[in-house]
Structure 1
Amino acid sequence: MVVDGDSLFGPVDPVSDAGWSDAPPRMGFFTDTSVCIGCKACEVACKEWNGVPGSGLDLLGMSYDNTGALTANSWRHVAFVEQPRRVGSSGSGAFAGAPTGGSAGAVSAGVAAGSSHDSGTRPGLSTGSSEAAGRMAGGGPQFLGMPGSQPPGRAGDGGGRSDFRWLMMSDVCKHCTHAACLDVCPTGSLFRTEFGTVVVQEDICNGCGYCVPACPYGVIDQRRGDGRVWKCTLCYDRIGAGAMPACAQACPTESIQYGPLEELRERAAARVAVLHEQGVPEARLYGHDPGDGVGGDGAFFLLLDEPEVYGLPPDPVVTTRDLPRMWRRAGVAALAMAAAAVAAFVGGSS
């Protein structure tokens, strides 16, 4: 659906808006970067389940990040953001790109608190898991970025590295509420599922590439030698059968959580509140607000720094928001030209 740029975004149900009736709750991802350890299990699981071609080994000069970005061959991308101390810093914990409003040491506080996983059961990421919600909201893993061996900003405590920290985030397609890619696709290859997700049908895609610049997050990409576009489907085949997406199933720290979107939003808000109480004021949610520029994302994140640090746009908007106004103006201009032509013809013949 093209959204009029003159209107304000309100609560929208993209499922019913797409014509689905008696649909299940909208499903999505909540990615808590404070407990991401950068293991890349999600990347591997995504490739294995979906048959995504390998990306090859290329460190790209970016720490241990061998994929670099979301592409047609990387539907999940674990970003490694290394934040060194400022030049001349004497171990005070002041980082280049340090979180706004607090010290890097505060963000990494609790990094050694460990994990409370029950090794006998799969962490409860499925619908209605109050145990998982409790762990993530309160007593769950407290990694909060991965330093060398102790929290940054504690030089003098002995033994540990305090010159950098890693912020890690498993990025993915956002499955926007107002998805511009749907607006521009001329073949119907991109469609909204009954779960509220956005999926590419590769057998219908003609490789036009219109959706690539339409995505405000730069997620969609064309595969070399193929021409068609590929991206995360939120494992449409798995969730349709009642299973969990492969990436969430493989995540060992519950950083990637899957479930009904409204439930995830409540769980995320509780998690942020707990982190604030624990002295991590930098914790914030990204993409969770239905009132933002894309109407809220179906995949949203808890971040420990500004969105730009993770390579995310600070204020994403629907790139097709001005299309209705443009078509109206084009229509008015066409009518004016037709009227002028008629007038000239009538005036010349008389």
Structure 2
Amino acid sequence: MDPASGQERMGFFTDTSVCIGCKACEVACKEWNAIPEDGMTLTGMSYDNTGALGASTWRHVAFVEQTRPAPEGRTRLPLLDGRSAGTEQQGAGVAGGATAQETVVGGSGGDIRWLMSSDVCKHCTHAACLDVCPTGALFRTEFGTVVVQEDVCNGCGYCVPACPYGVIEQRPEDGRAFKCTMCYDRLGAGQEPACAKACPTDSIQFGPLDELRERAALRVDQLHEAGVTEARLYGEDPDDGVGGDGAFFLLLDEPEVYGLPPDPVVTTRDLLAMWKHAGVAALSLLGACGAAFVLTGRGRR
């Protein structure tokens, strides 16, 4: 709860176990926010035509292909409605529920598992981009999200290296920074973000952050009971290096597999101490210069 606005903090929970890689979220994000196209060229990275988050890609669907030894029995992931889906249903959709993603192609040397995840700005609790912005272009909204005001951004680029996730990017045309706003304009009108609205499997879930964390914990328990022991949450812990993310994930492998840092830390955590040390150093230098001036004056006498 934001004490200033009395508004619950809102966020995203992305359950990658039911992402089918359809890219509906990418398309909806671009359409609603009038973001320029940037993914019409072949990247050579499977079906990943956008490559990474950037100034013109506020939602990015990653496709991770893994070759694994062929198991004796197929893993069946439970669906959101409590049923389970086998590998033959991958990507096809199941009436009344969302398909699970698991092994999709078999062969004598093993199976290929596809891990798909829709990445987005994390809207950190302790957002370093806010700390370094000199113009106030970046601000925290009454919903707890972090937004860039494009008409205030001066293109200094300080926020780019400050982001521990590498989310923010400047557009080459004018140098201004852009990233996901969690559809701030839609939230103000009582609507959910365009990406969550468009997601056909409820992989992207939007709502009060506390409720999403509870829902995510239950989902992990459900997967563990089904034998999917590698299921884990990423970014939901308020005690992590960024104070918890406003957009967190359920992953089926290590964060690095999805291109996420394993232990993100707010990059400005030592900023106050650095300024204190710089102040002490400046005072020491000033004192040394004063002493040298006095001694020089005495020597001339």
The reply to whether TM is greater than 0.5 is yes
- 1:40-119 equivalence runs, <5 A: 40-85=23-68, 91-92=70-71, 105-106=74-75, 110-112=84-86, 115=94, 117=96
Aligned equivalent of 1:199, options 131, 140, 147: 147
Deviations 1:185-244 (A, max 9, x none): 111100000000000000010111110111000000111212111110000000111001
| Maintained 8 Å contact 1:177/1:298 | yes
Q: Does 2:219 align with 1:245?
A: no
Equivalent residue pairs, number: 288
| Equivalent residues in 2 for 1:249-328, closer than 5 Å | 249-328=197-276
Deviation at 1:146, TM superposition (A): 6.0
- Aligned CA distance change for structure 1 residues 190 and 210 (closer, same or farther; 3 Å): same
Aligned to 2:116, the other structure's residue is in SS state strand
Q: Decide whether the 8 Å contact of 2:139 with 2:148 is kept in 1.
A: yes
What residue number does 2:101 align with? 144
Report the RMSD for the aligned CA atoms in angstroms: 2.1
What displacement does 1:162 show?
Answer: 5.8
- What one-letter code is carried by the residue in structure 2 that aligns with 1:51? A
**CA distance 1:146–1:223, shift in 2 (3 Å):** farther
**1:203 partner letter:** D
Query: Measured at CA, do residues 238 and 283 of structure 1 come closer, stay the same or move farther in structure 2, by a change above 3 Å?
Result: same
Distance, in Å, in 2 between the alignment partners of 1:206 and 1:42 is 29
| Structure 2: runs of 5 or more not aligned | 79-83
Task: Measure, in 1, the Cα distance between the counterparts of 2:129 and 2:76.
Answer: 36
Cα distance in structure 1, aligned partners of 2:156 and 2:138: 12
Contact 1:35 1:145 in 2 (8 A): no
Counterparts of residues 12-31 of structure 1 (less than 5 Å) = 15-16=2-3, 21-31=4-14
d(CA) in 1 for partners of 2:247 and 2:183?
Answer: 13
Secondary structure of the corresponding residue to residue 118 of structure 2 = strand
Q: 2-side partners of 1:286 and 1:107: how far apart?
A: 22
3-state SS of paired residue (1:68): coil
- The SS at the match of 1:346 is helix
Residues 189-228 of structure 1 correspond to what in structure 2 (within 5 A)? 189-228=137-176
Deviation at 1:346, TM superposition (A): 2.1
Report the alpha carbon displacement of residue 116 of structure 1 after superposing the two structures with TM. 5.2
Aligned to 1:122: none
Work out the CA distance in 2 between the residues paired with 1:167 and 1:267.
21
Structure 1 residue 172 and structure 2 residue 126: aligned?
no
Pair 1:236 & 2:219 matched: no
Give 1:32 deviation, angstroms. 0.2
The CA distance in 1 between the partners of 2:140 and 2:103, in whole Å, is 37
Tell me the distance in 2 between the aligned counterparts of 1:111 and 1:226: 48
- Who is 1:5 aligned against? none
* Matches of 1:272 and 1:108, distance apart in 2: 11
The residue matched to 2:139 in structure 1 has which SS? Answer: strand
The answer to which of 245-254 and 161-170 deviates more is 161-170
Q: CA deviation at 1:145?
A: 3.5
1 CA distance for matches of 2:62 and 2:39?
Answer: 16
Indicate the larger mover: 265-274 or 336-345: 336-345
CA-CA distance at 1:55 after TM superposition: 1.3
Deviations, residues 100-139 of structure 1 (Å, cap 9, x unaligned): xxx9x5476843376453xxxxxxxxxxxxxxxxxxxxxx
CA deviations 1:36-90 (Å, max 9, x no partner) are 00000000000000000011422311111110100111100000001123xxx5x
Segments ≥4 residues shifted beyond 6 Å: none
1:38 aligns with 2:21: yes
Task: State the percentage of identical aligned residues.
Answer: 70
- 1:322, distance to aligned residue in structure 2 (A): 1.1
- Equivalent residue, structure 2, for 1:123: none
Where structure 1 has 5 or more consecutive residues not aligned to the other structure, the ranges are 1-12, 94-102, 118-139
Between Structure 1 and Structure 2, the one with more strand by share is: 2
Which residue identity does 1:262 align to in structure 2?
Answer: D
Given that residues 137 and 148 in structure 2 are in contact (C-alpha distance below 8 angstroms), is that contact kept between their aligned partners in structure 1?
Answer: yes
| CA–CA distance in structure 2, aligned partners of residues 146 and 259 of structure 1 | 31
- Distance in structure 1 (CA, Å) of the matches to 2:283 and 2:291: 12
